[in-house]
Amino acid sequence: MLTVRKSQDRGYADHGWLKSFHSFSFAGYYDPEFMGWGNLRVINEDRIAPGTGFGTHGHRDMEIISYVLEGNLAHKDSMGNVKGIPPGDVQRMSAGSGVLHSEFNHAAGQQTHFLQIWIEPNVRGITPSYEQKTFVSDDKRGRLRLVASPTGEDGSVTVHADARLYAGLFDGDEEATLQLDAQRKAYVHLVKGELEVNGQKLTGGDAAMIEAESVLTFTKGKHAEVLVFTDLVH
């Protein structure tokens, strides 16, 4: 079963310096029907104004992934990491027993546009850790590139969670097929453009919630960038 959720049905918050779409209940947005999908808990599409950002705050027992689309996200944490995250990079922070961090847009005249993703871990109280890797566009062109997995296979970042995350770029005749475990949930988030998933048309910001399916096909892309989460627990 594939259920489409349209971009405009997401929650939205405008804080002036931050404009954020919430795929699932978060902060002031609450919808009991959209508390997450399996162990996928948060997908926030954030746009941070120049010279602003999230001050130091804490997390525990959560796998947090940042996927930057535009600009550069400046990250600083209590583990001693001071990093810039440009488009093409995937950052994974395992909050574990507790971590403090901040995220800022230091660029003058350019917003930072990124996806903040939270996945519930399969182990709690671990030592916090950080990982960041670059996945160039050519590796995602016309295919689904594994960017996060429990094993860190194929050069992906390692998440301490039951989840695999793929990123892909599709245009024109490019297409791909992905095999699924029908006993697990999957989730497709179309970052931008247009794309058909199992014949269902998605446009930028749309999502597809998937369960009891064994295969996904991606066709008819128009400047599409997509994230696909698989092996999610119920």
Q: What are phi and psi of 9, to 5 degrees?
A: -85, -5
Dihedral sign for Cα atoms in the order 10, 228, 4, 169: positive
Measured in degrees and rounded to the nearest 5, phi and psi for residue 93 equal -120, 120
What gap in Å lies between CA 54 and CA 184, rounded to an integer? 34
DSSP strand pairing (215-232 vs 176-179): antiparallel
Find out whether 75 is annotated in a ligand binding site: no
103 known ligand binder:
yes
Please indicate if the annotation marks 223 as binding a ligand: no
Check whether 101 is labelled as a binding-site residue. Answer: yes
Helical segments of the chain, H only: 137-140
The SS3 of residue 153 is helix
d(CA 225, CA 140) in angstroms, rounded, equals 9
Q: Which residues are annotated as a binding site?
A: 57, 59, 101, 103
Q: Which residues are annotated as a binding site for Fe cation?
A: 57, 59, 101, 103
